[in-house]
Amino acid sequence: MNLKDILAISGEGTLFKFIAQGKNAVIVENLESGRRFSAGAASKVSALDEIAIFTTGEDMPLGKVMDMLWEKENGGEAISHRTPEPELRKYFAEVLPEYDRDRVYISDIKKVLHWYNILHKLNLLIKEEEQPEASEGGSEAEVKEETAEAEVKSKKRAATGTGKTKPAEE
């Protein structure tokens, strides 16, 4: 799943969309209510695309776990995160049999299922298509994507006051 710009904030029961970077805070929008606010430096903000689940082998990115949930449910909703603990563990083992039972706590399983169901309800579960490797020059789409990313980074620098340039010396 493409989880870009989707954030979780510690202590909040829902997910947020990244809007902008402020001076000492991140501007976010609640995905369910649409309410915007700033998450200050004291808030623990986590990007979902940077979260991984411990397995007995390599850690599994959350996006791939969401893909596995999507496939298990045939695009439907997963079981509720309020289901009793033994049923949650059994269900999660069906989705991801190699998850590390010692390091993945029941609270982690509940979060993953809750986040999946929120994203499903809002139709934000977009499966990532694997892209074939391009030739040396890169495709037109890749060039456009790189340009768009550079523009976003430039805007972030401008918003935070970094990246100011000095006049060229003659």
Tens-digit pLDDT profile for residues 138-152: 444 444 455 455 454
Mean pLDDT of 62-76: 94
Give residue 146's identity as a one-letter amino acid code: E
Alpha-carbon gap, residue 30 to 80, rounded angstroms = 21
Which residue range is the domain that position 58 belongs to?
Answer: 52-121
What is the domain-level CATH number for residue 34?
2.30.30
- The secondary structure of the chain in percent helix, strand, coil, rounded to multiples of 5, reads 35, 20, 45
Mean pLDDT of 84-102: 96
In a shared domain, residues 70 and 38: no
Q: Report pLDDT for 22.
A: 85
Q: Is residue 160 part of a domain?
A: no
| Domain tally, the chain | 2
In a shared domain, residues 117 and 56: yes
Q: Is residue 73 part of a domain?
A: yes
More confident residue, 160 or 61: 61
Which of 101, 121, 141 terminates a domain? The answer is 121
Mean pLDDT of 156-160: 45
Alpha-carbon gap, residue 20 to 69, rounded angstroms = 30
More confident residue, 81 or 155: 81
Q: How far is CA 19 from the centre of its chain?
A: 14
Q: Is residue 11 part of a domain?
A: yes
In a shared domain, residues 56 and 105: yes
In a shared domain, residues 67 and 38: no
pLDDT of 34 above 60: yes
